[in-house]
Copies of this chain bind each other. A is one copy, B any other.
Amino acid sequence: MSALRHAILGLLARGAHTGYAIAKQMDRPLSYFWQARHSQIYPQLEAMTRDRLIEPTTIPGPGPRPTKEYRLTEAGREVLLAWLISPLPPLQAGRDDFQLRIWSAWLLSRDQVVALVRQRRALVAERLAEYESTMTGVGAGDDLSLDDPLFAEWMSLQAGKGYEEHRLRWCDQMLTRLGANT
């Protein structure tokens, strides 16, 4: 199951959409959602229909081909739910599976969301510790010369560490909002 499938399932769980509407949501990268072009989405909708995760109904619309509105099948909803509560993959660069799951967190119970965020928090804390131990080896930033490769590395590490700190704070904020202690 690819991330794109999960993104589409997450969108359709909120209601029926045409391929065009899905493509429009995924075309602009705001709100931390998945990004994809319509040329990727239309074939994927075909494949998901074949796999009985979604089903189309033809509705009136413009253009040379029939306009189709897709909705989740029961199997589709089950696949989405199973993915939401499966163990998180390790942190990786680029596209973020966890962030995609959060978009569908409204389908889960409070306890399930808390468990998901706690898993995330553990992974982020681990990564943050790696950053901190790496950074003791690089130096203080103020002591480094601008034309020293270590200065550039320090800048990169500052960015990476700040990023993980943000993600950790977010987890803690959400756990507080959910009424769970960190």
Contacts and interface: CB of A to CB of B under 8 A. Distances in A.
Interface of A: 14, 29-35, 91-95, 99, 102-107, 110, 113, 127, 130-131, 134, 141-142, 146-149, 151-153, 155-160, 162-163, 165-167, 169-170, 173-174, 177-178
Among A30, A106, A160, A169, the one with the most B-chain Cβ atoms within 10 Å of its Cβ is A106
A156 B102 contact: yes
Chain copies in the assembled complex: 2
Given A103-B152, A134-B30, A155-B105, A146 B35 contact: no
Contacts of A177: 141-142
B160 A106 contact: no
B94 A156 contact: no
